[in-house]
Amino acid sequence: MYIAGTHSLRDVADDLLIPLHLVRNSQRYQQALAALHRANGRVKYLSGHSLGGAVAAVLQEDAVAGNLGPNYRGFREVRTYGAPLLHSDHIPNLHAYRRGWDPISAFDSGAATSSAVGWNPHSYGGYNRTNAVRPITSDRRSNVFVM
Protein backbone atom coordinates (compact mmCIF):
# COMPACT_ATOMS: atom_id res chain seq x y z
CA MET A 1 0.00 0.00 0.00
CA TYR A 2 1.53 3.29 -1.06
CA ILE A 3 0.50 6.30 1.00
CA ALA A 4 0.77 9.48 -1.00
CA GLY A 5 2.55 12.53 0.36
CA THR A 6 1.56 16.17 0.38
CA HIS A 7 -0.82 16.93 -2.49
CA SER A 8 -3.53 19.18 -1.08
CA LEU A 9 -3.86 22.20 1.15
CA ARG A 10 -5.27 19.94 3.85
CA ASP A 11 -2.07 17.87 3.69
CA VAL A 12 0.01 21.00 4.14
CA ALA A 13 -2.00 21.84 7.27
CA ASP A 14 -1.69 18.24 8.47
CA ASP A 15 2.10 18.51 8.18
CA LEU A 16 1.93 20.72 11.27
CA LEU A 17 0.51 17.77 13.24
CA ILE A 18 3.66 15.68 12.79
CA PRO A 19 5.94 17.40 15.35
CA LEU A 20 3.04 17.40 17.81
CA HIS A 21 2.69 13.59 17.47
CA LEU A 22 -0.87 14.02 16.19
CA VAL A 23 -0.50 12.24 12.83
CA ARG A 24 -3.49 10.04 13.75
CA ASN A 25 -5.67 13.18 13.48
CA SER A 26 -4.61 13.86 9.89
CA GLN A 27 -6.85 13.27 6.90
CA ARG A 28 -4.14 11.14 5.24
CA TYR A 29 -4.01 8.79 8.26
CA GLN A 30 -7.79 8.42 8.25
CA GLN A 31 -7.79 7.63 4.53
CA ALA A 32 -5.03 5.03 4.94
CA LEU A 33 -6.79 3.46 7.92
CA ALA A 34 -10.03 3.17 5.93
CA ALA A 35 -8.12 1.53 3.05
CA LEU A 36 -6.53 -0.93 5.46
CA HIS A 37 -9.91 -1.90 6.89
CA ARG A 38 -11.27 -2.44 3.38
CA ALA A 39 -8.26 -4.64 2.60
CA ASN A 40 -9.14 -6.84 5.59
CA GLY A 41 -5.63 -8.02 6.42
CA ARG A 42 -4.24 -8.40 2.90
CA VAL A 43 -1.76 -5.50 3.06
CA LYS A 44 1.72 -6.68 4.05
CA TYR A 45 3.89 -3.74 2.92
CA LEU A 46 3.51 0.01 3.44
CA SER A 47 5.40 2.77 1.68
CA GLY A 48 5.08 6.54 1.76
CA HIS A 49 6.81 9.80 0.93
CA SER A 50 6.87 12.85 3.20
CA LEU A 51 3.56 13.01 5.14
CA GLY A 52 2.66 9.61 3.68
CA GLY A 53 5.84 8.19 5.19
CA ALA A 54 4.98 9.61 8.60
CA VAL A 55 1.53 8.01 8.29
CA ALA A 56 3.07 4.66 7.30
CA ALA A 57 5.39 4.79 10.34
CA VAL A 58 2.51 5.55 12.72
CA LEU A 59 0.40 2.78 11.16
CA GLN A 60 3.25 0.34 11.82
CA GLU A 61 3.49 1.50 15.43
CA ASP A 62 -0.28 1.06 15.81
CA ALA A 63 -0.21 -2.37 14.17
CA VAL A 64 2.59 -3.64 16.42
CA ALA A 65 0.72 -2.30 19.48
CA GLY A 66 -2.43 -4.14 18.34
CA ASN A 67 -4.44 -0.96 17.77
CA LEU A 68 -5.46 -1.78 14.18
CA GLY A 69 -7.48 -4.87 15.03
CA PRO A 70 -6.79 -8.60 14.78
CA ASN A 71 -5.89 -8.55 11.07
CA TYR A 72 -2.83 -6.35 11.58
CA ARG A 73 -0.13 -7.12 14.14
CA GLY A 74 2.67 -5.47 12.20
CA PHE A 75 3.56 -5.19 8.54
CA ARG A 76 6.36 -7.21 6.94
CA GLU A 77 8.07 -4.08 5.70
CA VAL A 78 7.44 -0.36 5.88
CA ARG A 79 9.42 2.11 3.77
CA THR A 80 9.53 5.85 4.15
CA TYR A 81 11.11 8.32 1.76
CA GLY A 82 11.87 11.84 2.97
CA ALA A 83 9.55 11.48 5.95
CA PRO A 84 9.60 14.07 8.73
CA LEU A 85 10.46 11.56 11.47
CA LEU A 86 12.87 11.99 14.37
CA HIS A 87 14.11 8.48 15.15
CA SER A 88 12.81 5.92 12.69
CA ASP A 89 15.19 3.26 13.98
CA HIS A 90 12.91 2.26 16.89
CA ILE A 91 10.00 1.12 14.68
CA PRO A 92 10.07 -2.61 13.77
CA ASN A 93 10.50 -3.48 10.07
CA LEU A 94 10.77 0.19 9.09
CA HIS A 95 13.33 1.18 6.48
CA ALA A 96 13.69 4.94 6.20
CA TYR A 97 15.46 6.72 3.35
CA ARG A 98 16.27 10.38 2.99
CA ARG A 99 18.35 12.70 0.84
CA GLY A 100 21.23 14.76 2.04
CA TRP A 101 20.20 18.42 2.38
CA ASP A 102 16.49 17.50 2.63
CA PRO A 103 15.12 19.91 5.25
CA ILE A 104 11.93 17.86 5.75
CA SER A 105 13.67 14.63 6.82
CA ALA A 106 16.80 16.24 8.28
CA PHE A 107 16.21 15.05 11.86
CA ASP A 108 15.67 11.37 11.08
CA SER A 109 18.88 9.94 12.49
CA GLY A 110 17.77 6.40 11.68
CA ALA A 111 17.32 6.96 7.94
CA ALA A 112 19.77 5.83 5.28
CA THR A 113 21.00 8.98 3.55
CA SER A 114 21.82 9.23 -0.14
CA SER A 115 22.77 12.12 -2.39
CA ALA A 116 20.02 14.09 -4.07
CA VAL A 117 19.29 13.57 -7.74
CA GLY A 118 18.36 16.85 -9.39
CA TRP A 119 17.66 20.20 -7.84
CA ASN A 120 14.99 19.17 -5.28
CA PRO A 121 16.42 17.26 -2.29
CA HIS A 122 12.88 16.41 -1.08
CA SER A 123 11.82 14.82 -4.37
CA TYR A 124 10.49 11.26 -4.36
CA GLY A 125 12.06 10.41 -7.71
CA GLY A 126 15.42 8.72 -8.12
CA TYR A 127 15.56 6.63 -4.95
CA ASN A 128 15.69 3.44 -7.00
CA ARG A 129 18.98 4.63 -8.54
CA THR A 130 20.88 4.75 -5.26
CA ASN A 131 22.82 2.04 -3.49
CA ALA A 132 21.22 3.01 -0.17
CA VAL A 133 17.85 1.55 -1.15
CA ARG A 134 17.72 -2.21 -0.99
CA PRO A 135 15.25 -4.11 -3.21
CA ILE A 136 11.83 -5.05 -1.88
CA THR A 137 11.48 -8.72 -1.11
CA SER A 138 8.52 -9.99 -3.08
CA ASP A 139 5.66 -12.04 -1.68
CA ARG A 140 3.22 -13.32 -4.28
CA ARG A 141 0.54 -13.96 -1.68
CA SER A 142 0.43 -10.30 -0.68
CA ASN A 143 -1.73 -7.80 -2.50
CA VAL A 144 -0.42 -4.36 -3.32
CA PHE A 145 -2.72 -1.39 -2.81
CA VAL A 146 -1.96 2.05 -4.19
CA MET A 147 -3.65 5.07 -2.67
Burial class (CB in 10 A: 0-12, 13-18, 19+), 116: middle
pTM over 0.75: yes
Per-residue pLDDT tens digits for 50-78: 889 999 999 999 999 999 999 899 999 99
Confidence of residue 138 (pLDDT cuts 50, 70, 90): very low
- Percent of the chain whose pLDDT exceeds 90: 31
CA 64/CA 94 separation, integer angstroms: 12
CA 89/CA 73 separation, integer angstroms: 19
Do residues 105 and 15 touch, judged by C-beta distance below 8 A?
no
More confident residue, 135 or 110: 110
CA 111/CA 96 separation, integer angstroms: 4
Cross-strand pairs, 97: 81, 112
Mean pLDDT of 87-116: 86
Looking at residue 59, what is its pLDDT? 95
Burial class (CB in 10 A: 0-12, 13-18, 19+), 20: exposed
CA 74/CA 107 separation, integer angstroms: 25
CA 33/CA 65 separation, integer angstroms: 15
